[in-house]
Every structure is written in C-alpha cells, then in structure tokens.
Amino acid sequence: DTGVSQDPRHKITKRGQNVTFRCDPISEHNRLYWYRQTLGQGPEFLTYFQNEAQLEKSRLLSDRFSAERPKGSFSTLEIQRTEQGDSAMYLCASSVRTGTEAFFGQGTRLTVV
C-alpha cells in the first residue's frame, strides 16, 4: 500500500509563473479531492473528481486554477500567473466511495515570492 503520493513536496516560484502539481491516489480509489490549507487554518475544498469527471469546483478555484484527471488515475493541479496569496499547502486525497474516510497525501507546499 503506497498511499496517496504528491509531487513535488515543496515548490518555490516567482510571482507570475505557472506551477503544476501532481497527485497519485490509492489505486482502487475512484474519488480524488484537492484541498488548500493556509497557515493556522483547516483544509479548504477546491475540487473533486469521480474517475475522470470533475464533479464539483469551489468558488476558491479561480480561473487561474485548473485541475485534470485524464485517465481517472493521477491528477494534476495547475496554477497560472501565481500570486503571493496562492502560497499554501495543497493537499490531495482519495477515497473509495462517499461516506468513507479520505486518505491524504503529504501535500505540496507552495511559496510564491
């Protein structure tokens, strides 16, 4: 059991640059979630996939954010034209069905300078 894997673990980027994060869920999990966590806060929901279909997006996910899960396996989260306010921990989680626990990866910590 390899768990949920996220890459990279840390990313420092200059304001205005684009960044892409990757998440590999647990293999038999068809549900995949992205959350954002800022310092001192709990994670906030960004978006959710069931297989390859993106079923829900938060209002937090502005036009600069896009997420994909092309083959229903791994997912990518891209942020275009990064801003300092995008600095946060980006967490990916997966679950096998609704009403069950979501398993989280170790997150990608983004710092925009």
Partner 1 sequence: AQKITQTQPGMFVQEKEAVTLDCTYDTSDQSYGLFWYKQPSSGEMIFLIYQGSYDEQNATEGRYSLNFQKARKSANLVISASQLGDSAMYFCAMMANFGNEKLTFGTGTRLTIIP
Residues forming contacts to partner 1 in the complex (CB under 8 A) are: 31, 33, 35, 40-45, 48, 55-56, 58, 89, 91, 93, 98-107, 109
- Please give the distance of CA 66 from its chain centroid, rounded to a whole number: 10
- Smallest gap from Cβ 54 to partner 1, in A, equals 12
Cα(4)–Cα(102) distance, integer angstroms: 10
In sequence order, which ranges of the chain are alpha helices (DSSP H)? none
Cα(76)–Cα(10) distance, integer angstroms: 15
Nearer to partner 1, 39 or 84 (CB): 39
Nearer to partner 1, 74 or 104 (CB): 104
- Smallest gap from Cβ 81 to partner 1, in A, equals 26
- Smallest gap from Cβ 40 to partner 1, in A, equals 7
Nearer to partner 1, 93 or 112 (CB): 93
For the beta carbon of residue 80, count every other beta carbon within 10 angstroms.
14
Nearer to partner 1, 31 or 112 (CB): 31
Residue that is written with structure tokens 């600095």 in the block: 87
| Residue 113 contacts residue 19 (beta carbons within 8 Å) | no
